[in-house]
Amino acid sequence: MSASPKTTRAFILSALQNIGVIPDKLQAIDDGAQIYGPEGLLDSIHIVGLISEIGEWVDSRAGNTKSFFDILDEDLFENFKDINWIESLLNGKFSHVSFSS
């Protein structure tokens, strides 16, 4: 089953909310603000929490023999630069996973 970008984006924003990202930051991220990097809005605890939250969801639904972390490119954090990068990652490498709740 292929996820639509809108569903994937909603999933990412929900994951961010689940790890405690405040509404102002959620809106900025949805508008394209950098999540990770020099201008990133999230601290290291939140970025690791986001990656874990998404990874657990994917691993529980993907049916892959490899884990979420095994499938990611070598530069783990680069995949989480902003919401568009995360969408691209999820819709590309995990298009068979439904991101709707």
pLDDT digits (tens, 9 = 90+) for 73-97: 667 788 899 999 999 989 888 888 8
Q: Is residue 98 part of a domain?
A: no
Q: Is residue 29 part of a domain?
A: yes
Q: Is residue 99 part of a domain?
A: no
pTM of the model: 0.86
**pLDDT tens figures, 11-58:** 999 999 999 999 999 999 999 999 988 899 999 999 999 999 999 998
Mapping DSSP to helix (H, G, I), strand (E, B) and coil, where does residue 77 land?
A: helix
Q: Is residue 101 part of a domain?
A: no
Domain residues for 60? 5-93
Q: Is residue 42 part of a domain?
A: yes
Nearest one of 38, 52, 23 to 82, comparing CA atoms:
38
Q: Is residue 64 part of a domain?
A: yes
